[in-house]
């Protein structure tokens, strides 16, 4: 959330910066509400002062034994006016808060300007893509050919955009997550955490998913026969709950960023505790609203997928140094797996809602003959911290807002896709990266004969 004082004193500049993101800030509505707020706030303060003065008069008159009837009538009149004025002021504050909650973060000055992904800038590449002497297959054909990837059964169980893995492929998926956690905790200094997969609306509001992106979430309603997981899977049930005036009790996490970052919500952290670095492996649940028709084949865009998430909570002066570190930690996983990738700086029009600056890491997928996102690493500066009231005691001992960062280290399913495609062999088998073989009990290949 933006600092409202910045909007009050530098509205034109803020509006210009938001326009670079493709966001039109409602400046006229904000200015009108602000003018009304000032008027009513001043009037409210005047009424409060009159009431306080009248109360003193009553006390003084009573001490002298004088009649206070006329003063009491005046106080009663002031009380009614004051109550109405306070209600008006509260309603205006709610409207201002709504504008702030729906406004994205300001882009950092170093972010390239652009409308969409075509304006993203490549920073570096690592390794050249492998040249194949045979016709490459995509990960779906490879997994199904091995008898280890089953979308048909997953669709029977849950519907589209789910998957079912068997045998050695399921083990490889698990091995990837374990490998990532080991590297981040043992080499990169992260503290592993296990977090809830069901979270409340306050947590999602804190990191920026609510109120603007509720349609992307799976809502959970509890209580009676209507128990259901909705929003994206069963919209009829969701609509019925909304019509009945029911609010979700919980939401399924779209990413571990939400529960991890909210660990410091409404907290004041000691400066000695900074920086804080956390890692978690969790399933992520997304309705993928607005992405219909995109990546319908395979594991790229699923309603449920696993991700190893990295979160930094840091001193404001260290957040951009932390961003570079965060990206390097995600890159290290791909380097150890020997998977070609490139790093991109996202332009203003392609960044996420809460981000001030974002790097995407894109892994090479031979079957698509292109790089695809496997990690997105963002510095949110104080945007999330202001929504969460997440603070630390600075060098002067005063509370100040923290800076928060997050990134994938990595998306497990997409990493599995990259391994299947980059390590495929002409006979339909898949070689297992050397660094993962100890996690696979020494297994070095996925083969049709080794389905178990």
- The rounded distance, in Å, linking the Cα atoms of 216 and 291 is 10
What pLDDT was estimated at residue 292?
66
Does position 234 have pLDDT exceeding 50, yes or no?
no
Beta carbons within 10 angstroms of residue 349's beta carbon: 20
The radius of gyration of the chain's CA atoms, rounded to the nearest angstrom, is 27
Question: Residues annotated in the binding site, as ranges?
Answer: 255-257, 286-288, 309, 373-376, 406, 408
Mean pLDDT of the chain: 93
Q: Which two tokens stand for residue 187?
A: 């080499």
Residues 6+ apart with CB under 8 A from 142: 149, 420, 421, 424, 428, 430
What pTM, to 2 d.p., does this model score? 0.92
Between 294 and 33, the more confident residue is 33
Bridge-based pairing state of the strands 219-221 and 228-230:
antiparallel
Predicted local distance difference test score (pLDDT) of residue 252: 98
Could you list the residues known to form a binding site for ATP, using ranges: 286-288, 373-376
User: For residue 452, what pLDDT band results from cuts at 50, 70 and 90?
Assistant: low
Annotated binding site for L-serine: 255-257, 286, 309, 406, 408
The class (CATH top level) of 26-102 is mainly alpha
Is the N-terminal amide bond of 410 cis, ω within 30° of 0?
A: yes
Distance CA 385, CA 264 (A): 9
Q: Quick check: 345 and 124 in contact, CB under 8 A?
A: no
Pick the residue with more confidence: 229 or 7?
7
Domain boundaries, the chain: 26-102, 117-224+237-446
Instruction: Give the fold, CATH level 3, of 117-224+237-446.
Output: BirA Bifunctional Protein; domain 2 (3.30.930)
Summarised one tens digit per residue, pLDDT across range 53-84 is 877 887 887 777 877 777 777 777 788 889 99
pLDDT band at 224 (very low <50, low <70, confident <90, very high): low
């Amino acid at each position: 959330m933006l600092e409202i004082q910045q909007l009050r004193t530098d509205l034109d500049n803020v509006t210009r910066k938001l326009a670079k993101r493709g966001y039109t800030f409602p400046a006229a509505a904000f200015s009108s509400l602000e003018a009304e707020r000032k008027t009513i706030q001043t009037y409210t303060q005047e009424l409060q002062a009159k009431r306080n003065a009248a109360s003193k008069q009553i006390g003084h008159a009573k001490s002298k034994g004088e009649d206070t009837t006329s003063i009491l009538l005046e106080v009663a009149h002031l009380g009614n006016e004051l109550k109405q004025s306070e209600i008006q002021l509260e309603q205006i504050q709610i409207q201002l808060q709504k504008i702030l909650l729906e406004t994205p973060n300001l882009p950092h000055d170093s972010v390239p300007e652009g409308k969409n992904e075509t304006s993203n800038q490549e920073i570096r590449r690592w390794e050249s893509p492998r040249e194949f002497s045979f016709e490459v297959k995509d990960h779906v054909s490879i997994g199904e050919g091995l008898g280890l990837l089953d979308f048909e059964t997953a669709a029977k169980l849950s519907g589209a955009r789910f998957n079912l893995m068997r045998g050695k492929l399921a083990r490889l998926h698990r091995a990837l997550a374990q490998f990532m956690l080991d590297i981040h905790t043992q080499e990169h200094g992260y503290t592993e955490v296990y977090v809830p997969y069901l979270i409340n609306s306050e947590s999602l509001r804190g990191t920026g998913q609510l109120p603007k992106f509720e349609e992307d979430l799976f809502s959970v309603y509890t209580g009676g026969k209507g128990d259901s997981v909705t929003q994206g899977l069963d919209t009829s049930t969701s609509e019925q709950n909304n019509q009945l005036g029911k609010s979700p009790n919980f939401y399924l996490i779209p990413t571990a960023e939400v529960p991890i970052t909210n660990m410091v919500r409404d907290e004041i952290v000691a400066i000695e505790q900074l920086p804080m670095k956390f890692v978690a492996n969790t399933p992520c649940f997304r309705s993928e609203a607005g992405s219909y028709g995109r990546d319908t084949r395979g594991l790229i865009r699923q309603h449920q997928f696993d991700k190893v998430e990295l979160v930094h909570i840091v001193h404001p002066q260290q957040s951009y140094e932390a961003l570079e570190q965060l990206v390097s930690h995600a890159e290290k996983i791909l380097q150890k797996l020997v998977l070609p990738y490139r790093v991109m700086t996202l332009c203003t029009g392609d960044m996420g809602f809460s981000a001030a600056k974002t790097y995407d890491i894109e892994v090479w997928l031979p079957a698509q003959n292109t790089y695809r996102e496997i990690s997105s690493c963002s510095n949110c500066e104080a945007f999330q911290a202001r929504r969460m009231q997440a603070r630390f005691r600075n060098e002067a001992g005063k509370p100040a807002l923290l800076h928060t960062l997050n990134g994938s280290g990595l998306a497990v399913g997409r990493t599995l896709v990259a391994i299947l495609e980059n390590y495929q062999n002409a006979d339909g088998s898949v070689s297992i990266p050397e660094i993962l073989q100890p996690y696979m009990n020494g297994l070095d290949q996925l083969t049709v004969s080794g389905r178990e």
